């Protein structure tokens, strides 16, 4: 009996060591801002799912992979939201997800970091720099960051005299510390 128990325990330990760790997101906000006719217009994108393996003491092995569901785009204007889902903008029928995958991280100071991420939108991938804060609060971790992108780099909307090319994206995520 002891001969059977030892290999079973070893197998369970090895399986647990290689198990995929799921990140428990307790709160998230993805807010985008763009000027339309010179007026700041904003909206949100939901459905955030992420695998966050971030340890400030081991940045060389840290990783963050995340996806957001573009079908959830919400600007508090149903007509505009439907227009943003068309092939002229996000083309959610063919490209329902926006993905971000970390490439590297740097510690700036205190709780400030900078990550380089491959951002994929409408099957176009661009490297972006994302400065963010990483704060541990008891049983939770808060990550907040902001970056700017050019919507035309991703084929979102066409050339326009009234719509800015620059989009600011603000991300706030709270995860359960595991």
Rounded CA separation 117/62 (Å): 12
Sequence ranges of the domains in the chain: 21-176
pLDDT attached to residue 15: 36
Q: Report residue 141: phi and psi, to 5°.
A: -125, 135
Q: What is the pLDDT of residue 23?
A: 75
Q: Looking at residue 5, what is its pLDDT?
A: 46
Q: How do residues 22-36 score in pLDDT, each as one tens digit?
A: 578 999 999 999 999
CA 33/CA 167 separation, integer angstroms: 6
What are the residue ranges in the chain where pLDDT is below 70? Answer: 1-22, 178
**Domain 21-176 class?**
mainly beta
Which pLDDT score is estimated for 13? Answer: 39
Q: What angle do CA 30, 36, 40 make, to 5 degrees?
A: 55
Look at residue 22 in the predicted model and tell me its pLDDT.
52
């Amino acid at each position: 009996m002891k001969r059977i128990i030892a290999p079973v325990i070893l197998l369970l330990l090895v399986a647990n060591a290689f198990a995929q760790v799921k990140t428990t997101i307790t709160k998230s906000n993805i807010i985008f801002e763009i000027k339309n006719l010179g007026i700041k217009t904003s909206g949100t994108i939901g459905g955030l799912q992420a695998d966050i393996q971030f340890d400030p003491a081991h940045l060389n092995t840290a990783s963050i992979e995340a996806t957001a569901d573009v079908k959830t785009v919400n600007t508090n204007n149903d007509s505009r939201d439907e227009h943003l889902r068309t092939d002229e903008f996000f083309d959610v029928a063919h490209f329902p997800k926006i993905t971000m995958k970390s490439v590297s991280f740097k510690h700036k100071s205190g709780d400030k970091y900078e990550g380089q991420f491959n951002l994929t939108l409408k099957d176009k991938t661009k490297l972006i720099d994302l400065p963010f804060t990483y704060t541990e609060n008891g049983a939770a971790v808060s990550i907040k960051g902001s970056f700017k992108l050019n919507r035309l780099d991703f084929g979102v909307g066409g050339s326009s005299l009234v719509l800015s090319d620059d989009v600011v994206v603000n991300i706030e995520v709270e995860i359960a510390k595991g």
